[in-house]
Amino acid sequence: MAAMEYLPEQVLLKILSYIPQKELVLICRLVCQQWKELVDGLNLQFPDEGLPKQNQGGKAEDWDAFYFCTSVKNNLIKNPCGEEEFSFWELTNNDGDGWKIEDLPGDNGKPFPNEHIQKYFVTSFEWCQKSQLINLVSEGFEAETLDNAQPPITVRDWYAGRHDSGFDYELHVELLSEDMSMIQEYQTDKIHEPQWGDAEWKEISNIFTNYGPGVRYVKFTHGGKDSQRWAGWYGARITNSAVTVEQ
């Protein structure tokens, strides 16, 4: 059998024409320089699904734009802002007076940058922590794609405090294998904001890349407390958590 590199270009083009556009861009184009040039020369069209109306049916001007427009960036964190109380979250630490959900902006707080976010989780005077375990295969990501393409996994979180109370906050995200062994992790140092701070919402993020084969789960854990040790809910405020996988 002839090796693929010895096939005439017209035969290769015929073979490539049977491959879905998504695989052409994300897989075939990365095989070698010849395949990249062949794929770039194909007359591909943007798929209609998931694109802004002004782009539907339009020709891709370049591959960066094509990749961006066809990326799936659905948030895999469920109930990221407390709209469903504590559904989907495991409260691994619920000390002091425990976790609570409040409406934005909250007492001595600031509005969130996105007006569509209406609620936040708030911590108490002892450590409060909660986590969510995401099964990537159950969410529709094929094991082969996770192992070979290793698509970027982006994690984000937003935190703030009250103007009249200091707080501590921490984020820990783990990429886990099928047997729950840790493959890669991202962990902040304990972030401390003093009393009489600006109470502004701050975003923290990390992108996992080149993490190797075997990733099947993402474990997202965050938490905090107040530093005044006041009864009630004067600690870290958290909302709009996100885990997204590009594909």
* Residues in the chain, total: 247
SS3 89: coil
Higher pLDDT, 247 or 175: 175
In this structure, the answer to whether residues 118 and 196 fall within a common structural domain is: yes
In this structure, the answer to whether residues 109 and 168 fall within a common structural domain is: yes
In this structure, the answer to whether residues 97 and 45 fall within a common structural domain is: no
C-alpha span between 127 and 146 (Å, rounded): 34
pLDDT of residue 5: 64
C-alpha span between 142 and 135 (Å, rounded): 11
In this structure, the answer to whether residues 118 and 29 fall within a common structural domain is: no
Residue 14 resides in a domain: yes
pLDDT of residue 65: 37
In this structure, the answer to whether residues 95 and 152 fall within a common structural domain is: yes
Residue 157 resides in a domain: yes
C-alpha span between 84 and 142 (Å, rounded): 29
Query: Could you tell me the CATH number of the domain that includes residue 221?
Result: 2.60.120.260
In this structure, the answer to whether residues 122 and 210 fall within a common structural domain is: yes
> Residue 65 is part of which domain span?
4-70
In this structure, the answer to whether residues 123 and 193 fall within a common structural domain is: yes
pTM beyond cutoff 0.85 = no
| In the chain, % of residues over pLDDT 90 | 56
In this structure, the answer to whether residues 150 and 198 fall within a common structural domain is: yes
Q: Does an H or E element contain 45, and which?
A: none
pLDDT of residue 225: 94
Q: How many domains does the chain fold into?
A: 2
pLDDT of residue 218: 98
Residue 156 resides in a domain: yes
Averaged pLDDT for residues 169-189: 97
pLDDT digits (tens, 9 = 90+) for 224-244: 999 888 888 899 999 999 999
Residue 128 resides in a domain: yes
Pick from 58, 64, 54: which is nearest to 29 by CA? 64
pLDDT of residue 1: 45
Query: What amino acid occupies position 209?
Result: T
Residue linked to tokens 């469903």: 84
pLDDT of residue 8: 77
